[in-house]
Amino acid sequence: MKKYSMETTVGIFVFIGLICVGYLTIKLGKMEIIGSNNYVLYARFNSVSGLKLDSSVEIAGVQIGRVTSIKLDPKTDMALVELKIQKGIQISDDSIASIKTSGLIGDKFIKITPGGSDDMLGPGGTITDTESAIDLEDLISKYIFGKV
């Protein structure tokens, strides 16, 4: 009888340990199973060269989200970028999304400049005013060949 009690106790502790490991895996992996603290917005750019998945989305230097998908929109031949924005952050419909570089040769990120409109974008909304990344190679070639 005593052996059965010890095995049951060990089994319960192992089960609790597995539940804790599963919970930490989900939290540290930033997976969302139940609910979500984010909503999705879209932005269309002429060029997203250098922008990568999981790049930062910022307003006034504060990270408010991440880039979750970059696809080509076959209807407009523009890059369609999916942004996952934190709930509670409201973005007006006249905001401007720009692709910027952190530092001189750093990673690319999306900077959102808030607009003045009272109308806010809801989940699934699209930021229409965008600025693509500056193509440094193109600028250098224009300068070298005198087209500046």
Per residue in 4-54, pLDDT (tens digit) is 788 888 889 999 999 988 888 877 766 655 656 888 999 999 888 888 898
| DSSP for residue 76 | T
Across-strand partners of 28? none
Pairwise CA distance, residues 71 & 85, whole Å: 18
**Residue 88 to residues 46, 67, 80, 91, 135, Cα–Cα distance (Å):** 29, 18, 23, 10, 34
pTM higher than 0.75, yes or no? Answer: no
Q: Which pLDDT score is estimated for 112?
A: 92
CA 56/CA 64 separation, integer angstroms: 8
Label residue 6 left, alpha or beta by phi (over 0 means left) and psi (-120 to 50 means alpha). alpha
- The two structure tokens encoding residue 52: 């990568």
User: Given pLDDT bands bounded at 50, 70 and 90, which one contains residue 81?
Assistant: very high
Q: What's the CA gap between 148 and 146, in Å, rounded? A: 6
pLDDT at 121 over 80: yes
pLDDT of residue 147: 67
Q: Which residues, in sequence order, are CB contacts of 39 under 8 Å at separation 6+?
A: 84, 85, 87, 122, 123
Average pLDDT over residues 78-87: 91
Mean pLDDT over 109-120 rounds to 88
